Chains A and B, each alone.
Chain A
Amino acid sequence: MAEITMLEGIRQALFEEMDRDPAVVALGEDIGVFGGAFKVTEGLLARFGPERVIDTPISETAIVGAACGMSYLGLRPVAEMQFIDFIACCFNQVTNFLAKSHYRWGAPVPLVLRGPSGGSVHGGPFHSANPEMYFVHTPGLKVVYPSTAYDAKGLLKSAIRDNNPVLFFEHKFLYRRIKEEIPSGDYTVPIGKAVIRRQGNDLTIISYAAAAHTSLEAAEQLGREGIDAEVMDLRTLLPLDRESILASLKKTNKLLIVHEDTRTGGIAGEIAAIVCEGAFEDLDGPILRVTALDTPVPYSPPLEHRFLPNAEKIVAAARALAKY
Chain B
Amino acid sequence: MAVDVVMPQMGESIFEGTITKWLKKPGDKIERDEPLFEISTDKVDAEIPSPAAGVLKEVKVNEGQTVPVQTVVATIEAGGAAAQTAPSPAKQAPAPVPAQAKAEPPPSSASAPAARMPSPPPGAAAEQAHARAASGEKIRSSPLVRRIAREHNIDLAQVPGTGAGGRVSKRDILEAVEGTTARPTQTPAPPVGGAIPFRAPTGPSPLPPGGAAQSTAAFETAVPREKLYFGHYEVQPMSVMRQKIAEHMVLSKRVSPHVYSVDEVDLTGIAALRAKTKEKFEQAAGTKLTFMPFFVRAAVEALRAFPTVNASVDGTNVVLHKEANIGIAVALDWGLIVPVIKNAEEKNFLGTARAINDLAERARAKKLKPEEVAESTFSITNPGVFGGLFGLPIINQPNVAILGLGTIEKRPVVIDDAIAIRSMVYLTLSYDHRVVDGATAHQFMGRLKHSLENWSESIL
Contact = CB atoms under 8 A, between A and B. Distances in A.
Contact-residue bracket for chain A: 10 to 19
A285 interface: yes
Contacts of B142: 253, 283-285, 324
B169 interface: yes
Interface string B112-140: 00000000000000000000000000000
Contact-residue bracket for chain B: 10 to 19
A282 interface: yes
A323 B164 contact: yes
Contacts of A320: 164
Contact of B169 (A282, A283, A284): A284
A303 to B, nearest CB: 19
Interface in A277-324: 280-285, 320, 323-324
A280 B143 contact: yes
Contact of A324 (B62, B143, B147, B163): B163
B304 interface: no
Nearest to B146: A281
B145 A284 contact: yes
Chain B at the A interface: SS class: helix
Contacts of A323: 62, 163-164
A283 B62 contact: no
A281 B143 contact: yes
A114 B144 CA distance: 41
A282 B144 contact: yes
B433 interface: no
Given A253-B170, A324-B169, A281 B144 contact: yes
Contacts of A253: 142, 144, 170
Interface string B164-176: 1001011000000
B27 to A, nearest CB: 13
Interface of A: 253, 280-285, 320, 323-324
Given A284-B145, A285-B142, A323-B164, 13 more contacts: A253-B142, A281-B143, A281-B144, A281-B147, A283-B142, A283-B144, A284-B142, A284-B143, A284-B169, A284-B170, A324-B164, A324-B167, A324-B169
- 10 closest A-B pairs by beta carbon, nearest first, are A281-B147, A284-B144, A284-B170, A284-B142, A281-B143, A283-B143, A324-B164, A253-B144, A280-B143, A282-B144
10 contacts: A253-B144, A253-B170, A282-B143, A283-B144, A284-B170, A285-B142, A323-B62, A324-B142, A324-B164, A324-B167
